[in-house]
Chain A
């Protein structure tokens, strides 16, 4: 493993909330996490991105993500359905999916893990916690975990 050059990974975040997307970007910047992040707005876009369909056909501009941050409550196709589709697709199944949501419902947690989510995280209530979360996520998925 090459330690001199920090590894960069691509993160794909699916969230319909513009504020959250902005705050997440800010938090990544503030935490000086050197990863690229792409955003999609709902489950349908998420699957199009992953399958390089429609406006996501350019593979270079839309690289395959090493990690997906998935919100549960989204229009058109919600996170629960999107997660099922990803895990049902043999090409996409290996990408770890972290659920990042405001829902604290037990069933959502159970169903999330049941459907193959790698982690289930509640959206932090303040910015500092979000920065902390992004740092920790970066550290865990980039430095500790070895991804395919």
Chain B
């Protein structure tokens, strides 16, 4: 019981472990993914910052080119100096477009960039205007125009520097973050590896322990089994010894009954013989009274002889039983009723026998059984009504009352309309030499039903009697369809051999 509980908690423990391991793996994987995404984000931001700087730079350079070109033109008034300005004008549109697409990390920087773009646009416009004006205005005015542009040029330069510095700072912050993310990723990998190794070791240890436990449990079970087997063996042996002892004492008892009854017959025979001799040779001297005494003595000896014969018959049921063979009960009963034909005719009785099955039993004993039962029915018939006997059978499936082994049985009921018996004697009538009537009323020793019971018991069956509601009695027999399966240990053959020796 305790090992069972242990096993239950062990399985729970295993499940908990599995959950923990899976949880650790999942969280590790999530952290790993997060690291990767972080690094990718930082890279993207870095690229963005670089782009911002590049675009701002190129715009700045463009502006410078445009400005120097304008200045050159204003001073020299030569169209050739305007070529870089025109080129810048072309490039500016594309650069502006690129600038508009870029978004800086910080809103402040973004606002600066937008401001820078606006200023660049204004600057370009003013440059364009100054160039257009140059054709019509005089030199002093041109000088003023130059100064104007130079002034605005100073604002832009300042803004440019701020943007570049800010963006450089952003980049540095990003690079720092990148470094951090990388370090974290590295430490994560190391932690995960360590954890994995630890888990592997843990699992191996657990598995090892489990295997050891299992081995120990198996050994324990085997040891227990052996103890149990040993105990069963011992019990079986004890039981065998007991059974042998029982069989032996049973056999002795039966031998005793047989020998005793046989040997008792001898002196009785002598008593009768010498009583005969006495009556014949000295009858005259003895007188009527003496002869009466002798006659009574003789009658008592005869009765005792009959009793002994009956006792012998009872003991022979088990000691002289024959092997169980196929018996057609219809034929068997036909024979029994044929033997009793005269008695049946004298009693003016009628016997109705319904179809009976064929079973495996001792034919001669069953013959004796039915003969006894039918003789009883005839003997104890009612003087006022014609005897009617009915025999019918049914097949039933039930466990044996002795071994509880399931089997098929036939239940035969023999009911008559005779004198019956009081219900309290239902069991008593099967006792050897038990009689319900005086010898004068009905002859006999009272062994018939005891023999019947013995026979039925030898077949592993049951017999009982009930008085009928409307006079008469019913005897019910249950017999196995195969007596070999249900017979109580049959030591008939053994007995035969011992007696022969």
Contact = CB atoms under 8 A, between A and B. Distances in A.
A127 B266 contact: no
A128 B274 CA distance: 11
Contacts of B269: 102, 123, 125
Interface string B276-305: 110010000000000000000000000001
Interface residues of B, number: 14
A85 interface: no
25 contacts: A17-B266, A19-B270, A19-B273, A23-B273, A23-B277, A102-B262, A102-B265, A102-B266, A102-B269, A103-B262, A107-B496, A107-B500, A123-B269, A125-B272, A125-B273, A125-B305, A126-B272, A126-B273, A126-B276, A127-B273, A127-B276, A127-B277, A127-B280, A128-B276, A130-B273
Contacts of A128: 276
Contacts of B270: 19
A26 interface: yes
Classify the secondary structure of B's interface with A.
helix
Contacts of A125: 269, 272-273, 305
How many chain A residues sit at the interface, stated as a range, is 10 to 19
Contacts of B277: 23, 26, 127
A127 B269 CA distance: 9
Interface in A109-148: 123, 125-128, 130
Contacts, number: 28
A146 to B, nearest CB: 33
Among B269, B270, B305, B496, the most chain A Cβ lie within 10 Å of the Cβ of B269
Among A17, A107, A126, A130, the most chain B Cβ lie within 10 Å of the Cβ of A126
A136 B280 CA distance: 20
Nearest to A111: B500
Among B265, B274, B277, the most chain A Cβ lie within 10 Å of the Cβ of B277
A127 B305 CA distance: 16
Interface in A1-41: 17, 19, 23, 26
Interface string B250-269: 00000000000010011001
A7 B272 CA distance: 33
Contacts of A126: 272-273, 276
Contacts of A19: 270, 273-274
Contacts of A130: 273
A24 B277 CA distance: 12
A126 B276 CA distance: 7
Interface in A91-114: 102-103, 107
A12 to B, nearest CB: 22
A46 B266 CA distance: 22
Contacts of A107: 496, 500
Given A123-B269, A126-B273, 7 more contacts: A17-B266, A19-B273, A102-B262, A107-B496, A107-B500, A125-B305, A130-B273
